[in-house]
């Protein structure tokens, strides 16, 4: 077949023109188009992942930790569900003293930017 970019005669089995490197057959043209659509679709998903409205607020998370840390509220807020449940369990086992201290320290760390600077999805806290 003939390459429609450079006009060279390319063997029918080739996917790419050996002279200019562009794709040659009609079938491949559609493949190319599908790849493009896939990329567009992926970008749409990415857009949802990095939705600005979904970013967690550092001050909110920190204050939740300081005041409601015993219940792991700041952990649930940031999406760390397992750690939130762990904090509730520690609180129950220590009459809320252990969980409260844990949450309080974590809350301060979040506010001071020394620990837990990203949420469970890996997004930076704003």
User: Could you give the maximum distance between any two Cα atoms of the chain, in Å?
Assistant: 82
The one among 2, 9, 15, 19 contacting Zn ion by CB under 5 A: 19
Between helix 97-112 and helix 58-68 the angle, nearest 10°, is: 160
17 binds Zn ion (CB under 5 A): yes
Q: Which of residues 6 and 92 has its CB atom nearest to Zn ion in the complex?
A: 6
Contacts with 25 (C-beta within 8 Å, 6 or more apart), sequence order: 1, 12, 15
The one among 2, 6, 89, 93 contacting Zn ion by CB under 5 A: 6
Minimum Å gap between C-beta 2 and Zn ion is: 9
Find the binding residues for Zn ion in span 56-75 (CB under 5 A). Answer: none
- From the list 19-27, 42-50, 58-66, 78-86, the region that binds Zn ion by CB under 5 A is 19-27
Q: How many CA atoms lie within 13 A of 84 on its CB side?
A: 17
């Amino acid at each position: 077949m003939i390459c429609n970019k450079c006009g060279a005669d390319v063997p029918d089995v080739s996917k790419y023109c050996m002279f200019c490197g562009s794709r040659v057959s009609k079938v491949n043209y559609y493949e190319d188009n599908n790849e493009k659509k896939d990329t567009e679709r992926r970008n749409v998903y990415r857009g949802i992942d990095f939705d600005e409205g979904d970013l967690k607020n550092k001050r909110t998370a920190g204050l939740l930790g300081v005041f409601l840390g015993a219940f792991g509220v700041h952990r649930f807020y940031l999406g760390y569900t397992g750690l939130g449940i762990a904090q509730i369990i520690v609180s129950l086992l220590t009459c809320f003293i252990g969980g409260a201290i844990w949450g309080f320290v974590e809350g301060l760390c979040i506010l001071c930017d020394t620990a837990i600077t990203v949420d469970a999805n890996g997004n930076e806290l704003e």
